[in-house]
Chains A and B, each alone.
Chain A
Amino acid sequence: MSFQPVKFYQTGTFTVGNRLLPDAERSVQANMRRTNSLNSGHRACQGCGEALGARYAIDAAMNATGNRLVAANATGCLEVFSTPYPETSWQIPWIHSLFGNTAAVATGIAAALKVKAKSDVRVIAQGGDGGTTDIGFGCLSGMFERNDDVLYICYDNEAYMNTGVQRSSATPPAARTATTMAVGSEPGNPFGQGKNLPAIALAHDIAYVATATVAELRDLEAKVTRAMEFRGARYIHIFVPCPLGWGHASHDTIRIARLAKETGLFPVFEAENGEIVSVSKIRHRLPVEEYLRPQKRFAHLFSPQPRAQVIAHLQAIADRNIRKYGLCEENAQ
């Protein structure tokens, strides 16, 4: 195989969708014939990580399935900003039923496709972290457990954004939300709570579980593509910063997502048939402070006086992730 070194213009990132690469190696997004499954013109905030994540994921899934895709969508920002009646941004068959039943709706679609002998049409369920880790958790666990032929994608922006930034079980410790206010002696979301849904998905022994961020487009696309090679229940958890809820600049969405990974706060990995098969290594390990500082939801950790202990606690969480998942080269065996 011939090898052609490529020079990326955006050095230090994997985000480049690069049109300089040979066709086969280009990202789906770089392809002029991408499906634009979530088309432009929707009403997401500027810099919305969820809009970006959904666009990448669904286009990749369309590419992987020869455009034979149906999606069920939970109530939440993605649903609301994409389909204000009578407009829709979706270029794929798409259904929104309720907030907490998306995995079950997808099960129903998959069952219908099976009896109709249309197994080439694949099913995706998607929702926010609230719709996934909280209210839709029962249906999701049921879908996993029955091993229904559905890829569930969670767009994790770590709170209930659509209703105005309330805490979910995916909200990180210390974060300020509308229901974990930055007041009192322990401002923000308490430590010692929350759910790790990728780990819970793994515990269901399903065929494919992966995490990804919108900072690594090619990785995200590769995971969606890989997920489509399996049958049965699959889960991808995508880290999607929300400029409105997190209080960071719209142009910093990708940077924040990358910082979450580079600090070790959000481990990026892939598991097949119950075993972790790959981990995205941290390339430039950074202290959590770098990630926390640009976000207003963590502002109370820095002013009026710095809360070094809280920051240290968060650093300990990141360090534990790094050890647990072997996120740094020196930790790898």
Chain B
Amino acid sequence: MLKQTEGSHAVAEAVALCRPEVICAYPISPQTHIVEALGEMVKSGELANCEFINVESEFAAMSVAIGASAAGARAYTATASQGLLFMAEAVFNASGLGLPIVMTVANRAIGAPINIWNDHSDTMSQRDCGWIQLFAEDNQEALDLHIQAFRLGEELSLPVMVCMDGFILTHAYERVDLPTASQVDAYLPPYLPRQILDPAEPVSIGAMVGPEAFMEVRYLAHAKQMQALGLIPGYAEEFRSVFGRDSGGLVRAYRAEDAETIVVALGSVLGTIKDTIDEMRDQGAKIGALGITCFRPWPLAAVRAALAGAKRVVVLEKSLAVGLGGIVSNNVRTALATQDTPVHTVIAGLGGRTITRDSLRKAFAQAFAGRLEPLSFLDLDHAAVDRVLAREREVRRSGPIAEALLRERGVPGARVG
């Protein structure tokens, strides 16, 4: 059914169709609308057979999900940013215990300085936590990925994070195709746990493991993620046959067949990138894009194959490994380890900074001209940064960093673009 709706609502409806049995809610922007909508469905009875629990923190949200999942229930929660970090210990624990919880992360920057807008710092900080991480390009895909996430997670007994750009997707009203309950039921079988807390068959879950077996346990976690690489394309294929559209998969190329320059990115910025590529193609530039839908497990072979013909790769990423540079680009470099294709890191959109077609076109043109630095920051106000650095050299008590910058820039946000 086609519907004009908010991204968060679309996701909530998809999650509801997956028949979750325990949902934990803790507010943090921009994730709140998702759990609010689910809470209303539970309260009104529209979503039956489900416990909606208002917890006291994200750490508790994930912990309640852990308990529920271990007791055999399909468990779901959502968070973002500070919330994801606050639950980090439990996030690792959920994957270590092999519990197929599904969590939406409405991607948002991490403070300080506190910032509620979109970038990927939150989920990137958890990239090695053992969860599968899927990134949605638009609201339709966000909706669809949740249905696939339950299927995949439960098959492998691994938790899955569905990452969608905060505000840009969560708060955008767009047309989405909402599946029917029977479609979802046909695609997603009931949850059959591999382990369960059951008095009829008592097991101990979460025992202490020493050096004699810890390596093996971790290896198995890796092996399961490698299995996911094999399963994801098939599940996307099956999804297409049931729902009639392409969603999910490992990576998705755009006008990349003969492209000399390929732009790699995750999430909603792919839309802007594709528009820019169309414009540049019209002017004869051989440029294409590669969208990464599955970031963990890292689809090494798929990325390598997709980038094989490129003369240069530009990775546009919404997160920063402070002291190093790119995170996604480092993963891309692993895929290109045997080739000497230059990989440029362009850090963009941090803390919600708008990524414009104009800026993208300039950056890509620089790449064509061989003038793009290995690491650059899209639309960085170099002068402002330099003034702060100069001031810090001169004045010992130079004050709070963020405030100093804001003083430099005047009205925040007024100079976007």
CB distance from A62 to the nearest CB of B (A): 9
Bound together, the chains give a CA A138 to CA B57 distance in angstroms of: 8
CB distance from A149 to the nearest CB of B (A): 11
| A105: Cβ under 8 A from any B Cβ | yes
Instruction: Report the nearest B residue to A141, measured CB to CB.
Output: B56
A residues near B208, Cβ cutoff 8 Å: 79-80, 83-85, 96
Pick from A83, A138, A142 the residue with the most CB of B within 10 Å: A142
Q: Given A88-B204, A93-B202, A108-B75, are A100 and B70 neighbors across the interface (CB < 8 Å)?
A: no
A residues near B70, Cβ cutoff 8 Å: 95, 105, 108-109, 112
Instruction: Report the nearest B residue to A68, measured CB to CB.
Output: B199
Bound together, the chains give a CA A132 to CA B89 distance in angstroms of: 17
Pick from B197, B198, B203 the residue with the most CB of A within 10 Å: B197
Query: Do residues B207 and A97 form an inter-chain contact, with CB atoms below 8 A?
Result: no
A residues near B75, Cβ cutoff 8 Å: 108, 112
B residues near A109, Cβ cutoff 8 Å: 67-68, 70-71, 197
A residues near B21, Cβ cutoff 8 Å: 111-112, 115-116
| B205: Cβ under 8 A from any A Cβ | yes
For chain A, residues 85 to 141, give those with C-beta under 8 angstroms from any C-beta of chain B: 85-86, 88, 90-98, 100-101, 104-116, 121, 138-139, 141
Pick from B206, B209, B212 the residue with the most CB of A within 10 Å: B206
Q: Given A93-B198, A97-B206, A101-B90, are A139 and B56 neighbors across the interface (CB < 8 Å)?
A: yes
Instruction: Report the nearest B residue to A84, measured CB to CB.
Output: B208
B residues near A92, Cβ cutoff 8 Å: 199, 202
| B73: Cβ under 8 A from any A Cβ | yes
Query: Do residues A112 and B73 form an inter-chain contact, with CB atoms below 8 A?
Result: yes
Q: Given A98-B89, A138-B60, A146-B53, are A108 and B67 neighbors across the interface (CB < 8 Å)?
A: yes
Bound together, the chains give a CA A110 to CA B71 distance in angstroms of: 8
For chain B, residues 297 to 341, give those with C-beta under 8 angstroms from any C-beta of chain A: none
Bound together, the chains give a CA A108 to CA B71 distance in angstroms of: 8
| A67: Cβ under 8 A from any B Cβ | yes
| B180: Cβ under 8 A from any A Cβ | no
Pick from A80, A100, A115 the residue with the most CB of B within 10 Å: A115
From B60, B71, B72, B201, contact of A101 by CB (8 A): B60
| A70: Cβ under 8 A from any B Cβ | yes
For chain B, residues 58 to 111, give those with C-beta under 8 angstroms from any C-beta of chain A: 59-60, 62-73, 75, 89-90, 93, 97
Bound together, the chains give a CA A146 to CA B56 distance in angstroms of: 10
Query: Do residues B68 and A111 form an inter-chain contact, with CB atoms below 8 A?
Result: yes
B residues near A90, Cβ cutoff 8 Å: 202, 204
A residues near B206, Cβ cutoff 8 Å: 83, 95-97
CB distance from B46 to the nearest CB of A (A): 16
| A197: Cβ under 8 A from any B Cβ | no
For chain B, residues 187 to 206, give those with C-beta under 8 angstroms from any C-beta of chain A: 197-199, 201-206
- Show 24 A/B contacts (Cβ-Cβ < 8 Å), sorted by A: A69-B199, A70-B71, A83-B206, A84-B208, A86-B207, A92-B202, A93-B202, A94-B197, A94-B203, A95-B206, A101-B62, A104-B64, A105-B63, A107-B67, A108-B66, A108-B69, A109-B197, A112-B68, A112-B75, A115-B21, A115-B49, A116-B73, A121-B199, A141-B56
* Interchain residue pairs A-B with the least CB separation, the first 7: A108-B67, A142-B56, A112-B71, A104-B63, A101-B63, A112-B73, A96-B206
Which B positions have Cβ atoms within 8 angstroms of A?
A: 21-22, 24, 49-51, 53-57, 59-60, 62-73, 75, 89-90, 93, 97, 197-199, 201-210, 212-213
